[in-house]
Each structure stands twice: as structure tokens, then as C-alpha cells.
Structure 1
């Protein structure tokens, strides 16, 4: 009984009323009726006030604290608030709020660690597979030559070329990994300069023309020749962004398809749109295509070449320019990648 607010209130009310009656009995004009009334009123008022105080300021808050602790133990933080809904004179309410905030912060920390652990496992599995493929291919060709095929000149040359191709792919993968790691850690510095975006895109198109001709892809570049498309950015890195996106528009297009690059400008920015009418990307994959090694069609992507890091590098380069890349796509109809850069206004003489 003494462990409940009512039991404690009743005991304390009896004690207060007894003390009150004992004090009043010392007065000369105290009558039995007065003492009885004083005892009853003191008992009732003391019980009500003490019970309300204990119930709402102590026992209720202790019950809430126990409830939160049970949820923490069960790892169920649904309904737990970081801050009290309203101010309270009870110090236990503040303790309860502190426990809530601590529990939520720790839960977020645990979730972050779990996501990071899952990402590391996935990353190790992906990189192991990516490294294994060119290594095993080159190893197979070399061992075949060592087993006697080196005597046949045609076979030897063919296998050496294939081994070299596999090793080149391995080298590109390692270089892309180093580049991406340096960007994420902030080691890579950006060297900004003013340059003509039209000239840069034309250089990229010229480099990729041979690749497009092999698949009969028509590359079309449109812009308003009356306008100046000057920007202040890291030219080499923006070249790599355009190179990657236009190369993808060729690689993941239909035979005989089209890659359309358009350059537009607004008051303070220029926008590059790279559109193809190829395979397209499923909606569920769009959010993940900028992750390391993520491929929509893994088998086909490997056949077409590439390290699976291109779009991740593109994303980091544009973030370094305080820009973002956007993508929209429809399966079977193609994809559109867009990004913006600041427009450098040429001063008129």
C-alpha cells in the first residue's frame, strides 16, 4: 500500500491531521467539535494535495521513465519524443526528456553504424569482384602462354593483347578508386578557370566520335551560336563529367540511336543536357546509380566496359562545384542527365 501515491498520501495526511489536532488541543477554547472538524478538514485537504503532487509530479514521471527504459531495452523508440511537449515544474520531466534525447541519439548512431557496416560489406564484395575479373582474365592468358601457347605467334599476340587489355582495365579501376577516395576525403583540389563550354563539349564529342561510329550512334550538339557560354570551373574535371555522361549516352543506347547534347543559359547559369533514346533506367535504380559499382544491368555493363565508378566521380566533381546532377529516365525510351554551372559574363568593351 505504501508503494502507491494514495497509500503514501493517506499516511502523510493522517500524520498532518494528527499534528494539527494535537496543536489545537493546547488551546484553552478548543472544543471536541472544533478538533473533530479540524481533523477531518486537515485530513481531506492534506490527502488531496499530497496525492495530486505525488501522482502528477513524481509517480507519473517515474512511470514514463520506466516506459522509456523498457522501450530502449526492446529497441523500440516509437512514440519517444526528443523534447517534452510542454514545460513542467517536475524535475523528473526534465530527466525523462534527457533520457529520451539520449536514447534517440544513440539509436541514430547505431543505425548509422549499421548502415556503414552494410555499406562496407557490400563495397568489399563489389570491389573484390571488380578486381577479380581482370586479374583472373590476365592470369588465364598468361598461364595459357606459359603452358606452351607462346610458340604459336598468332595465339601469343592475341593472348598478350587480351592480357594487356585486362591489365589496362585493372589500372583504370584502381585510378578511379584513388580519384574517388581523394575527392571524398577532400584531398583533390579544384583549379578554377574561365573557359568556353561549347569548345569543351566539342572536344569531348571529337574524342568519342570513333566510339559512336562503331555503334552507328548519331551525336547531335545544339546551342545558340549568338550567345557566349563561358563558365568559371575546373576545366579538366568538367571535361571528365561531360566525357563520362556522353560516353554513357553512346554505350547504353540502341544501335543507330541518337545522343543529343544541348547547351542553354539563363541569367546566371548555363545548363548542359545529355539525352539518349536508349535502354533507360528503371525508377527503383535511379536513386542508386551514383553509388560506387552500382550497375543497372551488371552483366551487360561489364561487357560494355567501364569501372562502375564513373557516375560516382561525376557526382563528387559537381558537388565540388556546388552543383548537382539530375536524371530522368523511361525504360526503353532513354535517359536525360542535366547539370548546371555558373555563367561567367563577358565584359563588353
Structure 2
């Protein structure tokens, strides 16, 4: 900046004064062009009165006092050079410090040294910020590698090769996660194989039992038709009822195996009213033995909705069957369908003893039996589990609570109205 004459060196004024000293001494009148840039001056008579110049009144008095004490004196941060001319005295005030060549810049930025410090700080801070941004982007790219590995493990996508990082510490974490991934994969594969084997065994057992059971039922029905004695008819009824119970249990076992396997929803257009009537007909038949008061209602329902009709029917009938089972004789049973925004809501309430706190938490879990004092022979802890599985498969939810209206259990099943194409495990 000094070489380009943008900044004048610190001794610029002093050198210029020396160069112009002869002209200042011999000129008829000291003019402004003889005074270097950035300097002030005053021309005095012998009686200390300033004749002309660029000094203010205060600067003129200070310069005269400095001259009286010493011809070349430092007054604060100002230096004075005195020229005794033939008829007058010229005093020039100058500073030994770098300054800008441009008067306009010098007016607003007088201190070049301070500007240097400011420029240094600006450049230093700029460099720090630039390095932080560059390293931040670099570190962010490396962290994304770590996040990608973690997300894959979280989603149980374990068949992948992790990327590597140039940062030693991150690379160590990735290696640890890779080891954990391999161990988790091995453990899950063992668990999945055991679960698959268990389901295959249950399914095979259910089908094996079903064959002799069919034979027993067929023969019992034949004996019933041919029997004329009341006792024989009674015993045949016992056999048939027991066989029905075993069949129900086998259907539950088969549902267990199917609920965990890969299922594809067979979605179609379901007419709401016809679906409602189908459930009500079955409900009426089941509830007749206990002489239950049935309250069946539809409210704000659409003409049709989409879903897998058979899965939904079985899910709802599981709840209805449970509600009938735990209702007292001559009790009440409520079944309602509501249309709500983009959902269809099925509500089932009974006036039995309701859910306990423990049951509200665990009733939808597989094989949960709840209160062991219950005497029901048809409750195997699978009804609500299967219902919950089928409703989730349909993209809906199941909520359990106790009825405020009639005091028993309350189950709400919500399913979407629009089609949902899912294949799930």
C-alpha cells in the first residue's frame, strides 16, 4: 500500500518539510502548496500574532508557545518545525505516523496503525470462520456415514457393508457398530428360525388334530341321528360341544401362525350397511343364550369403505365374542359404527366387570390370560392379540378402556376409509 502511494510512510511529512525548507525560507509568501499533505502551518509576525495559515486559534497559541521553548519541539503527539524568515516566522505542525494519501480517507480513517490491527482481526476471524465452515462440512459428511450405519441397524436392515471414514475416531465407532450389526444379525436369524420352526410345529399340530377331530364329529353326529335314548343323545351333545371347543382352539392356533406370517391384504370395496348387518346377525346368534339386550347403531357412516372384509370381520367378531362371553345373563351389549373424517370407528361395549389396570396394559399381548379366576374355557389369550394384529395390518389402531355408559369393557377399532396397499411381516 505504501509502494502504491495509497498510504504515506511515517516520515513522509518530515522529509517533505526538509525538501521544501529552502523554498519556505526564500518565498515571498508561504503558500499551501509548499506545506506537505497532512500538515498545518501558521505565519507569525515578531509580536506573536498569526498573519495567515491553516492553524485554528488554539493551535496557533500552542505552536507559538512550543516555538518559544524550543525551535524544534515535540508537543504531545505533534511535532513543530520553525522557519525564521526575513520578515516573519513560519511554524509547521506535523506528525510522524503513517497516514492515507487521500484527504477524504484520511479525514475518516486517520489512524493507519489501528486500521492495520482491525484488518488483521477481520482477516483472522474470517479465516477462522472459513476453516470452521469447511471443516464443519467435512465433519458433517463423515457423521452422515455414522448416522447411515445407525439408521440401518435401527431399521434392522443388516445386509449392508458400512462406508468408512477418514477420521480415526469415527472409523472406530463405525467398526464397533459393524461388529454389533453382525452380532445382532446372527442373533435375529437364530430367533427368526426358532420362531418359524415354532409356527410350523403349531400349524402342523393343528392340522394333525383337525383330521381325527373331523372323524369324531362325523361319527358323533351319526350316532346322534341313529340314537333314540335320551342319555345317548345327551352324551353325543357333550361330544359335539367339546369338539366345537377344540375346533375353535385349532382355529385360534392357525390364526396365531398366520398372524405372524407374510400377509397380503385382499382389499376391496365393502358396503358398510351389509357389513354391519353381517356382524349383527352373528352377534344376535351368539348372544341369544344369555338373553342379552343388544344396542346396535350406525352413525354418519359412508355408503362403503375399503379393506379386507374377512380379516376385519374376524377381528371385530373376536371382540364381540369376548364381550358376550364376559357379559352377565340379561346384560347389555353395545355395537356401533361411526364415520369420522377419514376413518371408520367400530365400538363394542359390555357391562361385565371390565378391564383391570393390568389388562388395559397387556390384554392385547399374545397368550395373555388376565384374571386367572375367570372360568371361561374359550379364553386363550389370543382374541385381542389377533384383533390387534389384523387391525394394524389394515392400517388402523385398537384402543382398550372401560365403559362409562354401562360399566364393562370398551374396545374401539379404527380403520381408514381409503385403500391401503401393504405387505407386512
1:201 lines up with 2:276 in the alignment: yes
Distance 1:117 1:329, change over 3 A: farther
Q: State the partner residue of 2:237.
A: 161
5 Å matches for 1:1-349? 91=168, 93-94=169-170, 96-98=172-174, 100-102=176-178, 105=181, 153-187=229-263, 189-196=265-272, 198-224=273-299, 228-298=302-372, 300=374, 302-303=376-377, 305-329=378-402, 333-343=407-417
Q: TM-score, normalised by structure 2?
A: 0.45
Distance 1:223 1:89, change over 3 A: closer
Shift of 1:338: 1.2
Distance 1:109 1:203, change over 3 A: same
Distance 1:285 1:111, change over 3 A: farther
Per-residue CA deviations over 1:210-266 (Å, capped at 9, x if unaligned) read: 432432322112233x75342112222222222222222221223333222222212
Shift of 1:209: 1.9
Shift of 1:107: 7.3
Shift of 1:118: 11
On the 8 A contact 1:324/1:340 being kept in 2, the answer is yes
Per-residue CA deviations over 1:39-74 (Å, capped at 9, x if unaligned) read: xxxxxxxxxxxxxxxxxxxxxxxxxxxxxxxxxxxx
Instruction: Indicate the SS of the match to 1:302.
Output: coil
CA distance in 2, matches of 1:230, 1:252: 32
CA distance in 1, matches of 2:179, 2:355: 40
Distance 1:112 1:227, change over 3 A: closer
Shift of 1:206: 2.4
On the 8 A contact 1:282/1:330 being kept in 2, the answer is no
On the 8 A contact 2:362/2:368 being kept in 1, the answer is yes
On the 8 A contact 2:306/2:418 being kept in 1, the answer is yes
On the 8 A contact 2:336/2:347 being kept in 1, the answer is yes
Larger helix fraction of residues: 1
Shift of 1:183: 3.5
Instruction: Indicate the SS of the match to 1:325.
Output: strand
User: What are structure 2's unaligned runs of at least 5 residues?
Assistant: 1-164, 211-226, 420-425
Q: State the partner residue of 1:61.
A: none
Instruction: Indicate the SS of the match to 2:362.
Output: coil
On the 8 A contact 1:262/1:273 being kept in 2, the answer is yes
Distance 1:98 1:309, change over 3 A: same
Instruction: Indicate the SS of the match to 1:203.
Output: helix
Larger strand fraction of residues: 2
CA distance in 1, matches of 2:343, 2:372: 36
Distance 1:236 1:114, change over 3 A: closer
Shift of 1:112: 6.4
Q: Which gives a bigger RCO, structure 1 or 2 (Cα 8 Å, sep 6+)?
A: 1
On the 8 A contact 2:344/2:414 being kept in 1, the answer is yes
CA distance in 1, matches of 2:352, 2:190: 37
Instruction: Indicate the SS of the match to 2:396.
Output: coil
Larger Rg computed on CA atoms: 2
On the 8 A contact 1:229/1:265 being kept in 2, the answer is no
User: What are structure 1's unaligned runs of at least 5 residues?
Assistant: 1-87, 135-150
CA distance in 1, matches of 2:414, 2:255: 22
Structure 1 window deviating more from structure 2 (99-108 vs 208-217): it is 99-108
On the 8 A contact 1:271/1:339 being kept in 2, the answer is yes
On the 8 A contact 1:229/1:343 being kept in 2, the answer is no
On the 8 A contact 2:396/2:416 being kept in 1, the answer is no
Distance 1:159 1:271, change over 3 A: same
CA distance in 2, matches of 1:110, 1:246: 42
- Alignment length (residue pairs): 245
